Amino acid sequence: MRPLRIVVLTGAGISADSGVDTFRDQNGAWVKNNPMKVATPEGFAEDPERVHAFYNARRAQLPGVDPNPAHVALAELEREAVKAGGSFTLVTQNVDNLHARAGSKNILPIHGSLTKVSCQACQEVFDWEKNLSVKTPCPSCGARAMRPYIVWFGEIPRHFDKVEEAMMEADLFISVGTSGSVYPAAGLVGFARERGIPRVELNLEPSDNAYLFTDKRYGRASEVVPAYVRDLVGL
C-alpha cells in the first residue's frame, strides 16, 4: 500500500449490520421518535425524562451489539495506512462506540457518545453504562443536572478543528453509511471536491450528495467495506 492520508466519515449505516437502528430508513429512530422532542436542547428542557428514556433505551441496546466486518475493516485500514507511512482519521457521526471496540484508534466522535454522560453544572464528563434520570446526582459535584453526552440538533459538533485539519492534509476521502443529510459532516465531501482529491461513497444506496463522489460502491457495509479495503490495501 502506498502512503495515503485517509479521512473516513461514517454514519449509522455502518452499524446497521450490527443491529443498531439507523435514523432515516423505514424503521429508523427518527421514524419512531420525533427528533425535535428527543434530540434538541428544547426537547430536553421541555421533558428531560422523555429524552433520558430515549437514550437509556439506546444505551441499553449496546451490550447486545458487536462491531461488524465493516468496523473491523476500517481498523485494519488504519493500521495498514499508518504502517505504510500515511495517516488515518476516522470521523464518526455514530455514538455506539463500535469503532473503538473494533480497534480503531484515531477516532473523532463529532456527535458524542452513548457511553458517556455530562453534568450541566460542573461540565464534567463520565463513562456511563446505566440509566440516567433527572434524579441522578453528578458523581463529581452532586448536582442533579446530568445529560447524555450527545450533540443534539442545534448544538456544535465536537472536534471539528481536528476534522478540518485532517481534511486539509487528506489525499483520499471515504464516506460510509451516511445519508449525507446533516451538516457540517455532510459538507466534508464538498470540501474534498474543492481540494480535488478522490472521494468514495460506500453505502446501501446513493446518499443525498452521491453526485459529489468520484467512486461509488453500493451494498451492505459489512460486505462492501471489507472488499474496498482489500482492493485499496492490496490484501
Q: Per the annotation, where are the binding residues? A: 11-30, 55, 58, 93-96, 119, 122, 138, 141, 177-179, 203-205, 221
Q: Looking at beta carbons only, is 17 or 78 nearer to ligand APR?
A: 17
CB count in 10 Å sphere of residue 67: 24
User: Please, what is the minimum distance in Å from the beta carbon of residue 121 to ligand APR?
Assistant: 25
DSSP lists the bridge partners of residue 217 as 202
Q: Looking at beta carbons only, is 15 or 87 nearer to ligand APR?
A: 15
User: Please, what is the minimum distance in Å from the beta carbon of residue 67 to ligand APR?
Assistant: 14
Q: Looking at beta carbons only, is 22 or 115 nearer to ligand APR?
A: 22
User: Please, what is the minimum distance in Å from the beta carbon of residue 178 to ligand APR?
Assistant: 3
Catalytic site includes residue 159: no
Nearest CA-CA partner of 147 in 173, 171, 123, 164: 123
Which of the residues 71, 99, 111, 159 is marked catalytic?
A: 111
DSSP lists the bridge partners of residue 175 as 9, 201
Give kind and range of the element (H or E) at residue 54. helix 48-61
d(CA 203, CA 180): 11
Binding residues for NAD(+): 11-30, 93-96, 177-179, 203-205, 221
d(CA 214, CA 230): 19
Chain residues that interact with ligand APR, rule: CB under 6 A: 11-13, 16-17, 22-25, 28, 93, 111, 177-179, 181-182, 203-205, 207, 220-221
Cα dihedral 151→152→154→156 (10° resolution): 0
User: Please, what is the minimum distance in Å from the beta carbon of residue 65 to ligand APR?
Assistant: 13
Q: What is the 3-state secondary structure (H, E, C) of 150-188?
A: ECCCCCCCCCHHHHHHHHHHCCEEEEECCCCCCCCHHHH
The residue at minimum Cβ distance from ligand APR is 13
Q: Looking at beta carbons only, is 137 or 184 nearer to ligand APR?
A: 184
Give the catalytic positions in this structure: 111
